[in-house]
Amino acid sequence: MPAPNVIDQMREDAIIGAIFVSVAHFVKGVCTSPNGSRLAGGFLAVPENALAVGRWAAWFGVVKATRCTVQHVSPGYPFESTVALGVTDTLFSMHHGPRVALRNGLRYAAIGGVLDMVMYSLKRSACAPGIPATQRRV
């Protein structure tokens, strides 16, 4: 049985994913509606795309579960997003066949690798000691 903390984190990420995708579909509905009914078009676009909203919410939840699993198995592993995005997209692409699933998994693993490198660089630069004011050149 998974830890309650992992389930709470999965739930939070799934809710965040659903909200993000709902807002994206609302904005798309507003932009594609005629002038007189933009707000109504935005509100109608969200339930029309409920399947996509649910799929993205599930995708965000599985990414978080995979990331928590990688953190539990090897706590100091720096490339957890690489593994999480690759595995999740491979799982969600399996209905297209093994070749497509492998290609999509590798693509998202590459995206996760870039994200991990950016996050590592940001963390490293945030933790780096600053130059003292006496040594700065103006």
**Does 51 lie in the same domain as 20?**
yes
Q: What is the pLDDT of residue 103?
A: 95
**Does 88 lie in the same domain as 51?**
no
**Does 51 lie in the same domain as 2?**
yes
User: 36-46 in b/e burial notation, b at 16+ Cβ within 10 A?
Assistant: eeeeebbeebb
For residue 26, tell me if it sits in a domain: yes
Calculate the dihedral angle through the C-alpha atoms of 11, 15, 20, 21, rounding to the nearest 10 degrees. Answer: 100
Tens of pLDDT, residue by residue over 49-74, are 999 999 999 999 999 999 888 888 88
Tens of pLDDT, residue by residue over 87-137, are 999 999 999 999 999 999 999 999 989 988 898 888 888 776 766 666 666
Count structural domains, the chain. 2
**Does 83 lie in the same domain as 52?**
no
Structure tokens at 27: 């904005």
Angle between helices 98-127 and 80-92 (to 10 degrees): 160
**Does 49 lie in the same domain as 3?**
yes
Tell me the residue range of the domain where 11 lies. 1-56
pTM: 0.75
Tens of pLDDT, residue by residue over 23-38, are 999 999 999 988 888 8
